[in-house]
């Protein structure tokens, strides 16, 4: 059971976050890739590699639109070499990184090709180019790095199946409702041919630990809106009637310019009852119980996504500390 911390590549802060995550026992740190909102994840993860010894280091979530698969392969291979084999890559269709530039996210077909091309580049294979020739990264082989795990971030059935089938790793972005997580786990397992190894499954989960659940809800609201927005673009028939109405309203109201902010106008669309199902918020005992239920559905890792981008940093740090000290041990016990 792996427990990862998700964060932002804020210059002069991300490396310290990595050191803190390692000291508190997290298995890894994943940094977002969204060039208009934060710094560059590869630069900050390289600094984190220098300052840590065992912490795994991931880019989550990047995309094949703003970064060509060859560019991504070169960057993650470099991180793998410099970190001594601790790199992980999570690839998706694209969210704020593309939308804030007015670009459309990758199609499922484009994402599938990108996953295949990146893995081929990392193996040193020839990869077909758009002009019918081929390209190859021969330089990687001389360093003999360990294989970089490549995962697909997925919300809908097509992308979940793609990740399970082509990468063997899926990190779900469906929220924390056990019914929906169970559905997504089943979709991933169904996509793998009979007799093949089951896919490695993770889930991004919005978590805020605080003795006052009202405070916790307020801290997580903007971050939760990001993942609820993903769900609003997926199949509606896997949602309860109440949650379907909420995500439909959010999909209509969502303002990309206010992405990830608890003060965003669209964040007010999320009622407390929805947040209690879709996120994990409240006292440590409650959070441990909720996360244990998700782990028991068949997850191999939890990627803990803390509070909103504009939340009080001191309260975010306190939540992360409580998670590490009072929740994480119960998930591994």
Q: Do 6 and 58 contact (CB within 8 A), yes or no?
A: no
Phi-psi map region of 48: left, alpha, beta (phi>0 left; psi -120 to 50 alpha): alpha
**Could you give the domains of the chain?**
2-332 (3.20.20.30)
Q: Do 202 and 301 contact (CB within 8 A), yes or no?
A: yes
Instruction: Specify the higher pLDDT residue, 131 or 118.
Output: 118
pTM to 2 decimal places: 0.95
Q: Which two tokens stand for residue 223?
A: 């971050």
For residues 144 and 316, give the distance between their C-alpha atoms in angstroms, rounded to a whole number. 39
**Concatenated DSSP letters of 79-133:** HHHHTTS-EEEEE-S-SHHHHTTT-PPPPHHHHHHHHHHHHHHHHT--EE-TTS-
**Packing angle of the helix pair 213-232, 313-322 (nearest 10 deg):** 90
Per-residue pLDDT tens digits for 317-331: 999 999 999 999 999
Q: Given pLDDT bands bounded at 50, 70 and 90, which one contains residue 248?
A: confident
């Amino acid at each position: 059971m792996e427990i990862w911390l998700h964060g932002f590549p804020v210059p002069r802060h991300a490396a310290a976050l990595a050191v803190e995550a390692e000291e508190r026992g997290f298995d890894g740190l994943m940094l977002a890739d969204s060039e208009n909102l934060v710094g560059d994840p590869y630069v900050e993860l390289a600094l984190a590699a220098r300052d840590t010894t065992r912490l795994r280091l991931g880019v989550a979530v990047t995309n094949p639109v703003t970064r060509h698969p060859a560019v991504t392969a070169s960057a993650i291979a470099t991180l793998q070499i410099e970190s001594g084999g601790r790199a992980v890559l999570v690839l998706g269709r694209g969210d704020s990184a593309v939308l804030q530039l007015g670009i459309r996210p990758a199609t499922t077909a484009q994402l599938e090709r990108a996953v295949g091309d990146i893995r081929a580049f990392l193996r040193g294979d020839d990869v077909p180019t758009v002009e019918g020739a081929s390209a190859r990264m021969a330089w990687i082989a001389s360093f003999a790095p360990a294989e970089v795990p490549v995962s697909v971030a997925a919300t809908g059935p097509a992308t979940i199946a793609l990740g399970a089938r082509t990468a063997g790793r899926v990190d779900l972005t469906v929220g924390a409702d056990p019914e929906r997580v169970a559905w997504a786990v089943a979709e991933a397992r169904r996509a793998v041919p009979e007799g093949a190894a089951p896919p490695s499954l993770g889930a991004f989960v919005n978590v805020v630990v605080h003795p006052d659940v009202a405070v916790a809800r307020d801290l997580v609201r903007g971050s939760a809106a990001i993942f609820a927005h993903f769900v609003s673009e997926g199949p509606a028939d896997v949602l309860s009637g109440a949650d379907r109405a909420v995500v439909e309203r959010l999909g209509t109201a969502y303002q990309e310019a206010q992405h990830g902010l608890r003060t965003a106008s669209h964040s007010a669309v999320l009622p407390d009852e929805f947040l209690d199902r879709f996120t994990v918020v409240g006292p440590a005992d409650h959070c441990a119980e909720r996360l244990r239920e998700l782990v028991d559905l068949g997850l191999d890792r939890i990627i803990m996504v803390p509070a909103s981008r504009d939340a009080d940093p001191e309260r975010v740090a306190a939540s992360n500390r409580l998670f590490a000290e009072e929740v994480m041990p119960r998930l591994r016990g």
